Amino acid sequence: MGAVVDGGVTLLVVIPGILLLANLTNWGPVLMYGVLKLTDFVKIVTVHLWLRKEKWVKNLTVRVA
């Protein structure tokens, strides 16, 4: 689950974001890195919502027919 969220946010937000920041601003690499680390909040919200659905929980006490 962590790899899916981390990889998804990296592919969908971080890579396009770094390309946009590099082409549209004159910021240095440290500032761009700092701004894009804010995507961790997107990851936290995504994982929180995913965990709250509890689809990852399996009841091991129930017999499967």
- pLDDT at position 25 over 90: yes
56: phi then psi, degrees, rounded to nearest 5: -85, -10
Q: Does the structure show a pLDDT above 80 at 51?
A: yes
Confidence bin at 59 (pLDDT 50/70/90): confident
Domain ranges of the chain: 2-52
- Least-confidence region, from 9-23, 33-47, 48-62: 48-62
Q: Could you write out the DSSP letters of every residue in 8-39?
A: HHIIIIIHHHHHHHHHH----HHHHHHHHTTH
Residue bearing the bigger pLDDT, 25 or 5: 25
Does residue 24 surpass a pLDDT of 90?
Answer: yes
- DSSP letter at 62 equals S
